[in-house]
């Protein structure tokens, strides 16, 4: 069903915003262009967090294209803003607030995936007063703030080979992200894949599996998609981190396993509309889920849009399918 009107809601971007925050404006541009091509009337609204209620007024046959992200230092505000849309009773794109709460928390996501039988790397929460997780999980370890996205917190040297280096890294993260849990995981040594999943008439469709290649990385730089690789253009890691699509025939077995694991992660986390699942191979070549990204980036150069293009889907078709799968809050007085 085509809505009569779409409201593109995105977080307010200050002039001095860092690249990971300003990127939402590129997403807005892509969605605006797609809606224009689809001939669907739209309005774009920049929302100051905490003012969602005032900014978005319900109207008949209106769908909110939800590009509301969290401001720096407040990762839980993204699901909170989406919860306001649910309270307003407005249909919106992407996942509901409960799923965004879940996938924003890497520790909770790991627990959910594990309970569903979806493999993840060995790891858990690191407490500064009790770092016994480092005794139970083999090194090397990668340390991450548990509530950040866009590779925030993966600057510098996030992979640690010595226990004391891991503790130093944990102390730095605790100071930078106060009150935020720290996740310590065994750093998997194998290939890394990004898998885009898009809602379709027959259910979620796994788009062509993309591999992230780390070309000519020296031993002192860990092969991973760091903050610098994503956002600092012209750096060594930016220019030497490249996306390619493995041959689905020549590598049919591996591509099939990775695609199936992405679908299982989608189902375990209850994702709606669209998602990107990050997967890496362990030392034996078995795929493990790193993260489930609900409402992933939709800028023209982002992995999701590039994978859609590889599948022959332009931005207009991607946006059409995301809107068609818009999440609708239960009617008042009825059980969900």
pLDDT digits (tens, 9 = 90+) for 270-295: 999 999 999 999 999 999 999 999 99
Cβ neighbourhood burial of 46 (10 Å; 0-12, 13-18, 19+): middle
Q: For 165-172, which contacts have Cβ atoms below 8 Å and span 24 or more sequence positions?
A: 166/126, 166/131, 166/134, 166/139, 166/141, 167/128, 167/131, 167/134, 169/143, 170/126, 170/128, 170/131, 170/143, 171/128
The per-residue pLDDT for 32 is 98
Dihedral of the alpha carbons of 302, 305, 306, 312, in degrees to the nearest 10: 180
The per-residue pLDDT for 191 is 98
The per-residue pLDDT for 285 is 97
pLDDT band at 73 (very low <50, low <70, confident <90, very high): confident
End-to-end CA distance of the chain: 22
Helices and strands (DSSP H and E) totals, the chain: 13, 13
From 216, 221, 223, 214, select the one nearest 241 (Cα to Cα). 214
pLDDT band at 89 (very low <50, low <70, confident <90, very high): confident
Q: What CATH number was assigned to the domain covering residues 123-186?
A: 3.30.1490
Contacts of 296 (CB under 8 A, 6+ apart): 196, 274, 275, 276, 302, 303, 304
Q: What CATH number was assigned to the domain covering residues 5-93?
A: 3.40.50
5-63 tens-digit pLDDT: 899 999 999 999 989 889 999 999 999 999 999 999 999 999 887 666 666 765 667 89
pLDDT band at 185 (very low <50, low <70, confident <90, very high): very high
The per-residue pLDDT for 236 is 94
- The more confident residue out of 317 and 16 is 317
Domain ranges of the chain: 5-93, 103-119+189-323, 123-186
Give the mean pLDDT of 103-107: 96
The three-point CA angle 332-335-336 to 5° equals 95
User: Has residue 336 got a pLDDT over 70?
Assistant: no
CATH class of segment(s) 103-119+189-323: alpha beta
139-156 tens-digit pLDDT: 999 999 999 988 898 999
What does the alpha-carbon distance between residue 220 and residue 199 come to, in Å, rounded to a whole number? 40
Any idea which residue has 């900014």 for tokens? 55
What percent of the chain stands above pLDDT 90? 78
User: Has residue 172 got a pLDDT over 50?
Assistant: yes
């Amino acid at each position: 069903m085509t809505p009569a009107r779409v409201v593109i809601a995105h977080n307010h971007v200050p002039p001095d915003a860092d690249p990971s925050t300003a990127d939402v404006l590129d997403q807005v541009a892509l969605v605006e262009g797609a809606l224009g091509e689809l001939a669907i009337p739209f309005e774009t609204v920049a929302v100051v967090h905490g003012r969602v209620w005032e900014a978005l007024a319900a109207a008949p046959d209106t769908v909110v294209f939800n590009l509301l992200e969290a401001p720096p230092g407040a990762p839980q505000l993204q699901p909170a803003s989406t919860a306001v849309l649910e309270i307003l009773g407005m249909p919106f794109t992407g996942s509901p607030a409960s799923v965004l709460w879940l996938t924003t928390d890497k520790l909770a996501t790991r627990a959910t995936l594990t309970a569903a039988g979806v493999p993840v790397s060995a790891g858990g929460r690191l407490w500064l007063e009790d770092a016994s997780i480092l005794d139970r999980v083999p090194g090397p370890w990668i340390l991450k703030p548990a509530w950040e996205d866009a590779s925030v917190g993966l600057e510098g040297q996030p992979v640690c080979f010595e226990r004391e280096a891991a503790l130093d890294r944990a102390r730095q993260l605790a100071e930078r992200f106060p009150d935020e849990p720290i996740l310590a995981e065994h750093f998997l040594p194998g290939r890394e894949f990004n898998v885009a999943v898009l809602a379709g008439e027959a259910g979620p469709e796994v788009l062509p599996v993309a591999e992230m290649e780390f070309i000519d990385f020296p031993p002192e730089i860990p092969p991973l998609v760091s903050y610098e690789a994503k956002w600092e253009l012209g750096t060594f890691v930016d220019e030497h981190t490249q996306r390619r699509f493995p041959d689905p025939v020549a590598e049919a077995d591996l591509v099939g396993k990775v695609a199936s694991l992405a679908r299982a992660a989608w189902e375990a986390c209850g994702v709606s509309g669209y998602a990107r699942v990050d997967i890496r191979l362990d030392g034996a070549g078995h795929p493990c889920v790193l993260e489930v990204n609900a409402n992933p980036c939709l800028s023209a150069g982002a992995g999701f849009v590039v994978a859609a293009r590889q599948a022959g889907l332009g931005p207009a078709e991607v946006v059409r399918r995301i809107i068609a799968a818009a999440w609708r809050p239960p009617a008042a007085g009825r059980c969900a």
